[in-house]
């Protein structure tokens, strides 16, 4: 379980707090969706929940980050990495820059955890298979499309088999199939007991994947509840968060005086085929 | 405006990213290129401004073969927004970043400030002109990169995934920019994975699979049920309104919410 209690944070060199009194619990085996308008604090919350802010980037955190009952206050980055990993928005931020192939890039995480080589190979192969990266595993990590780089970054995390994962828009550059594949990979991690916090603009991905959704605005959590309820809440659109397609479409039909039940039955039929 | 003939591109490691692509894009067209990650979309558009050179075939921009033309010259014709804004941004101030392009193209100082102001206004960054680009979040850095491309006022604008990382408001802003550019007679080429954005914003859609073009037509055609097997062959799915419309048997393609609402109203009125 990953837990933030009354967490407020400001970046080094800034007076203003960009997170204000955040309480958040992500239970084992749970995928919690994090939505909010741009610059509401989603990325900052991801950095704080991963411990990188302040451990790696400095700044001032008040409140506590607790992982599996232990306070992470003053932990070093490498100690944090054994507990919680983060996937950044931009895969180029993540790339090690020292691996010659995609395979080596993905193996680097478990290697750095000090695991025996056979175990590293097993984990690397498993992550590659899960995200169907076999065709590019011998490729140089800089010779990838934006979406491929993003999948490699996610595979690198999977190979570490972390107990807790923070993902900051992991599918931003992915095609719809890649997005679904990542969703499936995250679901499998959750089934193994990993706790996941998933910041996403793509509410279509969160719909059906997350049991719970947390809404952040101006650095504070404004809603925390069951996914179905929150994704259907008109407040999302008012905040500037794109509702899932099925919700948008139902609303558009309703607004025109049509029967939204048709959309629901049509969408169900479309999903079934 | 852009004429691609038998283009192939093979990267140094042997990857054949583009294979025998021919594509004519007329002046004033708005065209979306969609396809799986790694299908060659970004590689294709990088031939339009000379960032990449054809391994085989030829690319003509505004009637002239890009082979032998300098990138600086092509930059005045084709503006390219990169997928990753951080590959583009380098200045210490937002205004300086946006000024750089038009200044280099020789836009006179008297016109420069109006050009920059218009680009900042369109992207909603007018209030951030004196900010350091790296104090902006990812979504606004992406809009800043877009502002820099707009300020160059090139006849052709290529936008590689302009909506990634944008919330609903940012998405609406990008949509409006594309619509305004098209209305102004500019040629807009967009790469996107957001099928709703594609269906609502562009007049023509090109689908790529493994370096080749497999579909080319209006959103009505490309997202119509007949095209679904081809889309599925490259793991693409039509937008939800298209799927719902087909399942409800409305009898015509409904790639957008507006089209579905209209078709539903017509079906109800005729009592079906």
For A10-47, the pLDDT digits (tens) are: 999 888 999 999 999 999 999 999 999 998 999 999 99
Residue at which a domain ends, from B133, B153, B173: B153
pLDDT at A64 over 70: yes
CB contact under 8 A, A266 and B245: yes
Is-contact A248 A264, C-beta < 8 A?
A: no
Q: Output the domain CATH number for residue B207.
A: 3.40.50.300
| Any domain includes B176 | no
Spatial distance between the Cα atoms of B254 and B247, rounded to a whole number of angstroms: 11
| Any domain includes B173 | no
H helices of chain B, in order, are 41-45, 71-74, 94-104, 109-122, 138-151, 168-183, 195-201, 219-222, 228-233, 240-247, 257-269
Spatial distance between the Cα atoms of A125 and A101, rounded to a whole number of angstroms: 13
Give me the percent of chain B exceeding a pLDDT of 90: 76
Residues B249, B228 share a domain = no
Residues B146, B92 share a domain = yes
CB contact under 8 A, B239 and A245: yes
| Any domain includes B174 | no
Tokens of B202: 């562009």
Q: Which positions in chain B touch A237 (Cβ < 8 Å)?
A: 168
Spatial distance between the Cα atoms of A67 and B255, rounded to a whole number of angstroms: 46
Is-contact A39 B137, C-beta < 8 A?
A: yes
Mutate to test the interface with A, among B167, B200, B266 (most CBs of A within 10 A): B167
Q: How many CB atoms sit inside 10 A of residue A140's CB?
A: 16
**pLDDT tens, residue by residue, B205-256:** 999 999 999 999 999 999 999 999 999 999 898 999 999 999 888 888 999 9
Q: DSSP string covering B100-162, please?
A: HHHHHTT--HHHHHHHHHHHHHHTT-GGGTTS-GGGS-HHHHHHHHHHHHHHTT-SEEEEEST
User: How far are the Cα atoms of A126, A170, A188 from residue A185, in angstroms, in the given order?
Assistant: 11, 12, 5
Spatial distance between the Cα atoms of B183 and B178, rounded to a whole number of angstroms: 9
Mutate to test the interface with B, among A137, A147, A167 (most CBs of B within 10 A): A147
| Any domain includes B95 | yes
Query: In this structure, what DSSP letter does residue A199 have?
Result: E
CB contact under 8 A, B235 and A258: no
User: How far are the Cα atoms of A28, A152, A186, A202 from residue A191, in angstroms, in the given order?
Assistant: 9, 21, 9, 22
Identify the band that residue A130 occupies on the pLDDT scale cut at 50, 70 and 90.
Answer: confident
Distance from CA of A70 to the nearest CA of B (A): 31
Query: Which candidate from B13, B161, B165 shows the least CB-CB separation from A139?
Result: B13
- Mean pLDDT in residue range B137-157: 93
Spatial distance between the Cα atoms of A82 and A110, rounded to a whole number of angstroms: 10
Model pTM score? 0.87
Spatial distance between the Cα atoms of A66 and A83, rounded to a whole number of angstroms: 11
Residues B255, B225 share a domain = no
Tokens of B67: 């082979």
Q: pLDDT value at position A198?
A: 97
Give me the percent of chain A exceeding a pLDDT of 90: 65
- Minimal Cα distance from B192: which residue of A? A175
Q: pLDDT value at position B245?
A: 92
Q: Please tell me which residue, B192 or A96, carries the higher pLDDT value.
A: B192
Is-contact B145 B89, C-beta < 8 A?
A: yes
Q: Which positions in chain B touch A89 (Cβ < 8 Å)?
A: 138, 165
Radius of gyration of chain B (CA): 20
Identify the band that residue A81 occupies on the pLDDT scale cut at 50, 70 and 90.
Answer: confident
Q: pLDDT value at position B69?
A: 85
CB < 8 Å from A in window 191-220 of B: 193, 195-196
| Any domain includes B4 | yes
Q: How many CB atoms sit inside 10 A of residue A82's CB?
A: 15
Q: How many CB atoms sit inside 10 A of residue A5's CB?
A: 14
Q: pLDDT value at position B177?
A: 96
Q: Domain of B124?
A: 78-153
Continuous segment of H or E residues that includes residue A177:
helix A176-191
Residues found in chain A: 273
CB contact under 8 A, A258 and B261: yes
Identify the band that residue A273 occupies on the pLDDT scale cut at 50, 70 and 90.
Answer: low
Tokens of B5: 């003939």
Spatial distance between the Cα atoms of A231 and A4, rounded to a whole number of angstroms: 23
Residues B260, B208 share a domain = no
- Mean pLDDT in residue range A125-150: 89
Is-contact A196 A26, C-beta < 8 A?
A: yes
- Minimal Cα distance from B164: which residue of A? A172
Q: pLDDT value at position A176?
A: 83
- Mean pLDDT in residue range A212-236: 96
pLDDT at B271 over 70: no
Spatial distance between the Cα atoms of B153 and B173, rounded to a whole number of angstroms: 18
Question: Measured between CB atoms, does A140 come within 8 Å of chain B?
Answer: yes
Q: How many CB atoms sit inside 10 A of residue A137's CB?
A: 17
| Any domain includes B34 | yes
Mean pLDDT for chain B? 92
Map tokens 């232990």 to a residue: A70
Map tokens 């955040």 to a residue: A22
Q: For the complex shown, is ipTM > 0.90?
A: no
Of residues B214, B218, B192, B189, the one with CA closest to residue B205: B218
Tokens of A123: 């984990």
Q: Is A40 strand, coil or helix?
A: coil
Distance from CA of A263 to the nearest CA of B (A): 6
Q: Which positions in chain A touch B195 (Cβ < 8 Å)?
A: 176
**pLDDT tens, residue by residue, B190-207:** 999 999 999 999 999 999
Mean pLDDT for chain A? 91
Distance from CA of B234 to the nearest CA of A (A): 9
CB neighbour burial string for A117-127, b if at least 16 within 10 angstroms, e if fewer: eeebeebbbeb
Is-contact A24 A8, C-beta < 8 A?
A: no
Of residues A173, A249, A153, the one with CA closest to residue B256: A249
pLDDT at B272 over 60: no
The domain total for chain B is 3
Question: Measured between CB atoms, does A134 come within 8 Å of chain B?
Answer: no
CB neighbour burial string for B199-222, b if at least 16 within 10 angstroms, e if fewer: bbbbebbbbbbbbebbbbeebbeb
**pLDDT tens, residue by residue, B57-67:** 999 999 999 98
CB < 8 Å from B in window 32-71 of A: 36-39, 43
């Amino acid at each position: 379980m990953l837990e933030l209690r009354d967490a407020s944070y400001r970046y080094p060199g800034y007076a203003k707090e960009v997170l204000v009194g955040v309480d958040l619990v992500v239970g084992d085996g749970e995928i919690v969706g994090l939505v909010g308008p741009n610059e509401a604090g989603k990325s900052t919350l991801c950095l704080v929940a991963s411990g990188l802010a302040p451990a790696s980037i400095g700044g001032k955190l008040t409140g506590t980050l607790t992982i599996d009952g232990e306070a992470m206050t003053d932990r070093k980055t490498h100690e944090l990495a054994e507990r919680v990993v983060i996937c950044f928005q931009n895969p180029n931020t993540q790339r090690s820059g020292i691996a010659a192939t995609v395979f080596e890039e993905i193996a680097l995480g478990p290697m750095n955890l000090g695991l025996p080589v056979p175990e590293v190979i097993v984990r690397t192969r498993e992550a590659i298979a899960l995200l169907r990266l076999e065709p590019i595993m011998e490729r140089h990590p800089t010779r990838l499309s934006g979406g491929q780089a993003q999948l490699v970054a996610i595979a690198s995390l999977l190979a570490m088999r972390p107990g807790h994962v923070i993902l900051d828009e992991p599918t931003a550059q992915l095609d719809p199939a890649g997005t679904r594949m990542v969703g499936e990979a995250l679901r499998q991690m959750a089934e193994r007991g990993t706790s996941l916090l998933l910041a996403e603009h793509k509410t279509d991905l969160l719909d059906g994947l997350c049991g719970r959704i947390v809404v952040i605005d101006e650095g504070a959590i404004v809603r925390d509840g069951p996914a179905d309820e929150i994704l259907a809440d008109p407040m999302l659109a008012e905040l500037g968060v794109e509702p899932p397609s099925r919700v948008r479409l139902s609303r558009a039909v309703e607004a025109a005086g049509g029967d939204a039940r048709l959309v629901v039955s049509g969408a169900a039929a479309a999903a079934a085929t | 405006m852009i004429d691609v003939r038998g283009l192939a591109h093979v990267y140094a490691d042997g990857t054949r990213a583009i294979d025998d692509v021919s594509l004519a894009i007329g002046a004033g067209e708005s065209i979306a290129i969609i396809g799986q990650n790694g299908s060659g979309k970004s590689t294709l558009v990088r031939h339009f401004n000379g960032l990449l050179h054809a391994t085989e075939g030829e690319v003509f921009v505004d009637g002239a073969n890009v082979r032998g033309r300098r990138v600086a010259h092509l930059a005045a014709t084709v503006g390219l927004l990169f997928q990753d804004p951080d590959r583009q941004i380098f200045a210490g101030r937002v205004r300086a970043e946006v000024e750089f392009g038009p200044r280099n193209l020789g836009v006179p100082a008297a016109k420069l400030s109006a050009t920059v102001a218009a680009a900042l206004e369109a992207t909603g960054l007018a209030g951030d002109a004196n900010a350091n680009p790296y104090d902006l979040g990812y979504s606004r850095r992406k809009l800043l990169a877009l502002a820099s491309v707009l300020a160059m006022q090139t006849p052709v604008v290529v936008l590689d995934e302009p909506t990634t990382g944008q919330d609903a408001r940012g998405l609406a802003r990008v949509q409006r920019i594309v619509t305004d550019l098209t209305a102004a007679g500019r040629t807009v080429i967009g790469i996107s994975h957001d099928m709703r954005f594609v269906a609502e914003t562009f007049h023509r859609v090109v689908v790529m699979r493994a370096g080749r073009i497999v579909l080319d037509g209006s959103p009505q055609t490309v997202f119509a049920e007949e095209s679904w097997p081809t889309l599925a062959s490259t793991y693409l799915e039509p937008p939800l309104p298209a799927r719902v419309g087909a399942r409800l048997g409305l009898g015509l393609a409904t790639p957008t919410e507006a089209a579905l609402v209209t078709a539903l109203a017509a079906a109800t009125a005729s009592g079906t």
